[in-house]
Amino acid sequence: MIFHMISFLFQTLPTEHTVIWFYFLAIKGKDMRLDNIKHVSVIGAGRMGSQISELLSRLGGYPVILWDLEDELLQRGLSSIRARLEKHLLKKEKISQDEYEKILGRIETTTELFHAAYRADFVVEAVVENLQVKKGIFQRLDEHAPAHAVLASNTSALNITEIGSLTKRRDRVVGMHFFNPVAVMKLVEVVRGPLTSEDTVNVTCALAKRLGKEPVVCKDFSFGFIANRAYRAMRDEALQMVWERVASPEDIDKAMKLGYALPVGPLELGDMVGSWEIAVASEDSIVKETGKRLHPLIKMMVRAGYPGGPGRKGIYDFWKEVFSKW
């Protein structure tokens, strides 16, 4: 039917209109293949955004435009990229000085969202985990990015459909959830909302594979998607055992590691990534989306100054210094 309508239009329209139609169809058809991704942008130069930019340049070979609010934040992001490349690759002679320069040379920075968006074929957003902020960013990206561009969010748990709700390209909004540290972790969750198209999912999976990752597709109504949701359940049960003083965090982790061949226990992982602070910051979403309250031990630790995260005290210290004696 559509084919007949288009042929009819071609027969009836003057030549210049036919050319415009062909152009329109070419642009529409150009969008959703990996080969058509020539320019990528990353929004947010923080912990995740800087690592994702690095990967897109190093393994994807893409020219990357990295955006953040201020130049100082961009410079910090670039310094972290340089430091990682030097420590893990250059000094170990896994890349040459020339490759190092090229990886950095492909990453351009900007504080203008228009500049990051206007020629991007694929955008990965990695700003702060706040629904209103992400919705606003997606709305502005939608205004400036080419019609074919895919807008992906690296959100850890927020709803993809809601993030893209102010855009006019809801079929091209998708979750692309990398794990930290990005260079090491193989998983990318590709999160599909009810309006996300098959093509968008496919091109996002293809891009993840090009970056050396294993994509796993999941639906966007699962809070925490797959891995974080399952981890949260395990972690909360481990927290409850600490709360009941069944055993120390160290012994609970030891049992989980030896009993289930886990490389890291759920509680030490929480300390490593700062899960306690992240959980408190996302409390409203957790309650709204799961109907479950935060475990009281999480709030207690954060309030007492044990939020977890690199170089900061977490549940292991809280147990030794406070909770086991309380």
Q: What are the residue numbers of the active site? A: 156, 177, 189, 228
Tell me how far, at minimum, the Cβ of 305 lies from ligand NAD, in Å. 20
DSSP code of residue 86: I
Side-chain-facing half-sphere of 277: CA atoms under 13 Å = 15
Interface with ligand NAD, residue 54, by CB under 6 A: no
Distances (CA, A) of 203 to 84, 136, 155, 172, 282: 28, 24, 18, 10, 30
Please identify, among the stretches 2-10, 153-161, 302-310, 313-321, the one whose residues bind ligand NAD according to the rule CB under 6 A. 153-161
Alpha-carbon distance of 58 to 212, in angstroms, equals 11
Do residues 322 and 304 touch, judged by C-beta distance below 8 A? yes
- How many whole angstroms separate alpha carbon 200 and alpha carbon 188? 15
CB of 45 to ligand NAD, least distance (A): 5
Choice between 184 and 261, CB closer to ligand NAD: 184
Rule CB under 6 A: say whether 297 interacts with ligand NAD: no
In the complex, the smallest distance separating the C-beta of residue 325 from ligand NAD, rounded to whole angstroms, is 31
The least CB distance from residue 154 to ligand NAD, in Å, is 4
Q: Which of 34, 104, 131, 133 binds ligand NAD (CB under 6 A)?
A: 133
The DSSP bridge partners found for residue 62 are none
Residue nearest to ligand NAD (CB): 46
Q: Is 128 in the site for ligand NAD (CB under 6 A)?
A: yes
Least distance (Å) from ligand NAD to the CB of residue 114?
14
- Tell me: does residue 45 bind ligand NAD (CB under 6 A): yes
Q: Is 193 in the site for ligand NAD (CB under 6 A)?
A: no
Cβ at position 245, least distance to ligand NAD in Å? 30
Q: Which residues contact 178 (CB under 8 A, 6 or more apart)?
A: 48, 51, 52, 55, 154, 185, 188, 213
Q: Which amino acid is at 79?
A: S
Q: Which of 49, 60, 175, 266 binds ligand NAD (CB under 6 A)?
A: 49
Residues 161-190 touching ligand NAD, rule: CB under 6 A, are 178-180
Cβ proximity to ligand NAD: between 95 and 215 the closer is: 215
Are 120 and 65 within 8 A, CB to CB?
A: yes
Q: Of residues 32, 40, 78, 126, which one binds ligand NAD by CB under 6 A?
A: 126
User: Could you tell me where the DSSP H helices lie in 274-314?
Assistant: 275-281, 283-290, 296-303
State yes or no: residue 309 binds ligand NAD (CB under 6 A): no
Which tokens go with 310?
Answer: 């690199």
Query: What is the DSSP-derived secondary structure letter of residue 85?
Result: I
| Phi, psi angles (nearest 5°) of residue 2 | -60, -40
Residue from the set 173, 242, 273, 279 that interacts with ligand NAD by CB under 6 A: 273
69 interacts with ligand NAD by CB under 6 A: yes
Part of the chain binding ligand NAD (CB under 6 A), chosen from 29-37, 151-159, 198-206, 311-319 = 151-159
CB proximity list for 6: less than 8 A, separation 6 or greater: 21, 25
Structure tokens at 97: 């000085």
- Is the distance from CB of 35 to CB of 116 less than 8 angstroms? no
Binding site for ligand NAD (CB under 6 A): 44-49, 68-69, 73, 126-129, 133, 154-156, 178-180, 273
